[in-house]
Structure 1
Amino acid sequence: MDKYRRVGFIKAPIRAWKNIQSAEKFSIQTGRQIIIRLKFPNNVEQLEGHGGNAVVIKDKPFILYL
């Protein structure tokens, strides 16, 4: 999280879950404890193999307004 604050963006590709329940399940399964809530555009690409619950932005960074 400190790195994101320092640089002001998240480098692409940026993968995300569509809802908090999926993010929490993934967090528990992987041990990744930080969940960042982001507002993604409506036209993001679906990630295959995640039950339609995961999306990705492949081509540009996500600017953080902290």
Structure 2
Amino acid sequence: LLSIKEDISLIKYIIGQIEALEDLANCLEQAFINSIALGSSNGLYWAWFIELKCIVELVKLIV
């Protein structure tokens, strides 16, 4: 079992990781928007990144 201090540290770590994932997903989404605006077709990757964003949101709701 973890102490309260260790629990708090673990929760803060998880929150930091979630925020980092969310930032990454947002940056990648913007990169694909820019790429598509320039005429590139990245449909499969776009779907993967949208799925990533949805998973991040789901994890945020759970935590």
TM-score of the aligned structures, taking structure 1 as reference length: 0.21
| Rg larger for | 2
Structure number having the greater helix percentage: 2
- Structure with a larger share of its residues in strand: 1
TM-score normalised by structure 2 residue count? 0.21
